[in-house]
Amino acid sequence: MATTSGDTPATGQWFPAEWPERIRALARGELTPVPARPAATVLLLRDAAGTAEGPTGPEVFLLRRRRSMAFAGGAYAYPGGGVDPRDGDGGVDPRDATRPAAPAPAATVLAALRELFEEAGVLLAGPDRHSLVDDVTGDDWEADRRALVDRELSFSAFLARRALVPRGDLLRPWARWITPEFESRRYDTWFYAAALPPGQRTRNASTEADHAAWLSPAEAVAGFERGEMLMMPPTAATLRQLLPHRTAAEALAGAADHDLAPVLARATLVGDEVVLSWPGHEEFEKRVSGR
């Protein structure tokens, strides 16, 4: 039976029991990597209540995936999901949401906006390119949200029906991670950051999550490091990137300096030991020996 090396810190890092054998199968040429599906996720931020000394830092909205979920069950994550093929029909100019040096596909921008509405009940859209809706809690909004979730309605059709302009310019590209080649469900995920719009409220609107919470990055990272909060490496890494920032606006401004080169895990065999590492993120390295 495979066991984790004692050199690996006991954190809440998500590491499925089937991964070592899948890594070995890939090394033997018995496993063909599946294509990585385009995806998007959003670090939704708000400012925490300050003190007499000033701001205490931003908070980030996290969802805990149901333990019954086949992918990352029980893990904390941001609202997000795969790109719907129809997500590219909405006419978002990618220059509104990305740096010219590293543009993301317009479909991922729209997927981020759609998933944020579907899973957190927050809509970054407005009557024009300079405004936002301020209340999306009514029964009619909920009917549209459910139709989006059930894929009975495309996001572009939803926006057109309500004469809304998607505010992709409010998203800041934060990071890009690709699921390892040996995983059966693979995603090429763009991480975006955005601020909670005035007047809107979050909730756990996702059928895939059983808990939602606003936490400071420090609280979430501490929970991960104590092994109390299960997370995938991209979640823990992006939370750590929030730690230096004192406000949500400061964090969003700092996104312009982020390296958006995709992070893809490397798996190697050293004798009978599996070594899994993420370039540039040595803290997540896993070593598993035995069979």
Does residue 102 sit within a domain?
yes
pTM, to two decimals: 0.90
CA atoms within 13 A on the CB side of 281: 23
Q: Which residues are CB-contacts of 242 (< 8 A; sequence separation ≥ 6)?
A: 43, 45, 58, 60, 217, 251
The Cα 39–Cα 33 span in angstroms is 17
Closest CA to 123 of 93, 167, 87: 167
Over residues 38-78, the pLDDT tens digits come to 999 999 999 987 555 555 789 999 999 988 777 778 999 99
Phi/psi at 181 (nearest 5 deg)?
-65, -25
CB burial of residue 290 (10 Å; 0-12, 13-18, 19+): exposed
H-state helical runs in 41-180:
106-120, 139-149, 155-161
Does residue 276 sit within a domain?
no
Over residues 70-129, the pLDDT tens digits come to 777 899 999 999 999 888 665 555 445 455 445 677 889 999 999 999 999 999 999 998
Does residue 27 sit within a domain?
no
Tokens 């994550």 locate to 77
Burial 221-253 (b: 16+ CB within 10 A, else e): bebbbeeebbbbbbbbbbbbbbeebebbebbbe
Q: pLDDT-derived band of residue 289, with 50, 70 and 90 as boundaries? A: confident
Question: Domain limits at 121?
Answer: 35-261
**Taking the mean position of all CA atoms in its chain, how far away is CA 263?**
14
Does residue 43 sit within a domain?
yes
Does residue 16 sit within a domain?
no
CB count within 10 Å of CB 140 equals 9
Does residue 268 sit within a domain?
no
CATH number, domain containing residue 149: 3.90.79.10
- Domain count along the chain: 1
Does residue 15 sit within a domain?
no
- The pLDDT of residue 17 is 87
CB count within 10 Å of CB 96 equals 15
Does residue 111 sit within a domain?
yes
